[in-house]
Structure 1
Amino acid sequence: MAQITAALVKELRETSGAGMMDCKKALNETDGDIQAAQDWLRQKGLASAAKKAGRVAAEGLVAVSTGENSAAVIEVNSETDFVAKNDQFQTYVKNTAGVAIEVADFDALKAAKYPGSEKSCEETLTELVGTIGENMNMRRMEKLSVSNGVVASYIHNATGEGLGKIGVLVALESTGDKDKLNGLGKQIAMHIAATNPLSLDRNSVNPEDVERERTVLIEQAKEAGKPEEIAIKMVEGRMRKFYEENCLLEQAFVIDPDTTVGKAAEALGKELGTDITVTGYVRFELGEGIEKKEDDFAAEVAAAAGA
């Protein structure tokens, strides 16, 4: 029997798009013959993933999973919303989110064993591509943890338990009552889903974003004919508004617009007799940042009719 080297497995994986373990099995089954191994993979429905890998996958699902003192959010993409409603796809996303809470980062998640299988989460998705018939990919994962307190979660436009279009995590560090912390955490997570803040607080705003905003405001004031020293004073007031609109802790709380998110946390802290610190948040919106192809259906039909 031919020796199945790592280089041979790598070559087959690159040409077929199938998972590493599937490629190794195919080569074993075909005595190391690359062409025969490709045919074997096609017969098993595993090589079709390669042909689909170039197609834009901007639909799919965001999923959250929570544990004792941590939570994770993932995004898994598909080409169509139809597949996002597929039971097999939903089960995969939910199970993978459950794995995410047990691992350190995204690379570890891709390599981790899928529940009930010897294959990794990434290999299982490749196999699912061949089964369902369209491109899918694991796009990203984030995880938040606290020493004391809770990591609350919220799913917007839910299509199932823990599955939807927008997923939010928010970490509250505190020794207070966890039920009440979870209640506030979920409200803040809903707020984050609605407002999509730029950062947690002023200190965490990207300095380049601050400088760009300040420069634009100064130029606007100069264009209005204001002297530079007056323009600079005007800009300071406008920058305060910028922070109030974009920093989570300074934003007007959507649950109670008369207070801010930060003040709401302080108020509950006083009620519970302990400090509450919002230490971080994550917001995943399905497909954000993916360039989607806009199809002109009428032109497509006209072209087909002309042909």
Structure 2
Amino acid sequence: MAAITAALVKELREKSGAGMMDCKKALTETDGDIEAAVDWLRKKGLAAAAKKAGRVAAEGLIGVAAAGAKAAVVEVNSETDFVARNEIFQAYVAKAANFALDAEGCVDTLAAMPYGEANRTVAEQLTEMVGTIGENMRLRRTACLAVEKGVVASYVHAQVVPGLGKIGVLVALESIGDADALEALGKQIAMHVAAANPLFLDVSSVDGASLARERDVLSEQARASGKPEEIISKMVDGRIRKYYEETVLLEQIFVVDGETKIAKVLANAEKQIGAPVKLTGFVRMCLGEGIEKEESDFAAEVAAAVKGA
């Protein structure tokens, strides 16, 4: 009998839209044959979900849940923004975000968690909703931040209902100072992250490959000016500093006042908080980022419908 690996189960899940346990059972019943497993799932009443699984799901909601020194964010996609206004879908995303507090940032762990009284997992509940709501939906990703002492502040942009929206941000601040003041600071920095979209926490965390690529591009641009190499080197150094100011959170200018670097904002806040403050991490999750959306020609669709009528 073929080995039923996690990769095989994941492949079937993506292909069929069925729940994890159903996929595992289907593969077991069909000796690991993916196509036969899809047919097995269809015969067991999951055909609706399987048919919808190929459609692009780039809408939906970002959900955020916080519990003091820990917070989690999750993205659940749907095909249309209309579903994001569905109360059943909203309740699911909110519940998934709360479960994500114990998933440690692993979407497969989250998917396998028991959902509730219906004796389904989080993934299986979503599959059930696909059949009920009538759109392809996907539990896409999750992330979690925690600190030993301090707060993980959160912010949701374009909020539909509390904790659900289009952009979710988590900011981890370590400190033994005043918790309320720390929370307020974290909320402001989280709003900054939503607006400024930093890629890295500090200069030391900048990806070496990204930096090398940026330096190479800037060097070629500078050489086009015809200036001597020693001048070019200084020009590139200056532009790299500008690159840091655009992409590194601690080097960015605070959007609230337009003049203070985030690193300085943290230092200035220590008096009010009453203790040193360290920003240890952040997460910014924007709905649908990285998903290639299908571009439809509405006129062509109408013409095709008329011809087929």
Report the alpha carbon displacement of residue 35 of structure 1 after superposing the two structures with TM. 11
TM-score (norm 1): 0.87
Paired residue secondary structure (2:260) = strand
Report the alpha carbon displacement of residue 41 of structure 1 after superposing the two structures with TM. 3.4
Kept in 2: contact 1:165–1:286 (CA 8 A): yes
The more displaced of 161-170 and 16-25 is 16-25
How has the CA–CA distance of structure 1 residues 51 and 237 changed in structure 2, closer, same or farther, with 3 Å as cutoff? Answer: same
Kept in 2: contact 1:125–1:136 (CA 8 A): yes
List structure 1 runs of 4+ shifted beyond 6 angstroms: 13-16, 23-26, 34-37
Paired residue secondary structure (1:259) = coil
Report the alpha carbon displacement of residue 39 of structure 1 after superposing the two structures with TM. 7.1
Please tell me whether residue 273 in structure 1 is matched to residue 274 in structure 2. yes
Kept in 1: contact 2:178–2:274 (CA 8 A): no
Per the alignment, residue 255 of structure 2 pairs with: 254
Paired residue secondary structure (2:185) = helix
String of CA shifts for 1:193-252, please: whole Å, max 9, x gaps.
011012111111111111111111111111100111210111111111111121111111
Gaps of 5+ in 1: 1-5, 27-33
String of CA shifts for 1:36-90, please: whole Å, max 9, x gaps.
9767633xxx431001111000000000000121000000000111111111111
Paired residue secondary structure (2:188) = helix
Paired letter, 2:292:
E
Per the alignment, residue 31 of structure 1 pairs with: none
Per the alignment, residue 41 of structure 1 pairs with: 44
Paired residue secondary structure (1:168) = strand
The root-mean-square deviation of aligned C-alpha atoms, in Å, is: 2.4
Matched residue pairs, number?
288
Please tell me whether residue 174 in structure 1 is matched to residue 175 in structure 2. yes
String of CA shifts for 1:99-132, please: whole Å, max 9, x gaps.
1112222221111111333211011111111111
Please tell me whether residue 129 in structure 1 is matched to residue 130 in structure 2. yes
Residues 49-88 of structure 1 correspond to what in structure 2 (within 5 A)? 49-88=49-88
Paired letter, 2:142:
M
TM-score (norm 2): 0.87
Report the alpha carbon displacement of residue 23 of structure 1 after superposing the two structures with TM. 7.7
Kept in 1: contact 2:181–2:272 (CA 8 A): no
How far, CA to CA, are the matches of 1:281 and 1:39 in structure 2? 42
How has the CA–CA distance of structure 1 residues 108 and 255 changed in structure 2, closer, same or farther, with 3 Å as cutoff? Answer: same
How far, CA to CA, are the matches of 1:265 and 1:66 in structure 2? 22
**Percent of aligned pairs with the same amino acid:** 57
Report the alpha carbon displacement of residue 303 of structure 1 after superposing the two structures with TM. 2.9
How has the CA–CA distance of structure 1 residues 23 and 150 changed in structure 2, closer, same or farther, with 3 Å as cutoff? Answer: closer
How far, CA to CA, are the matches of 2:241 and 2:40 in structure 1? 63
Paired letter, 1:235:
V
How far, CA to CA, are the matches of 2:139 and 2:107 in structure 1? 9
How far, CA to CA, are the matches of 1:60 and 1:292 in structure 2? 13
**Structure index of larger Rg:** 1
Kept in 2: contact 1:243–1:250 (CA 8 A): yes
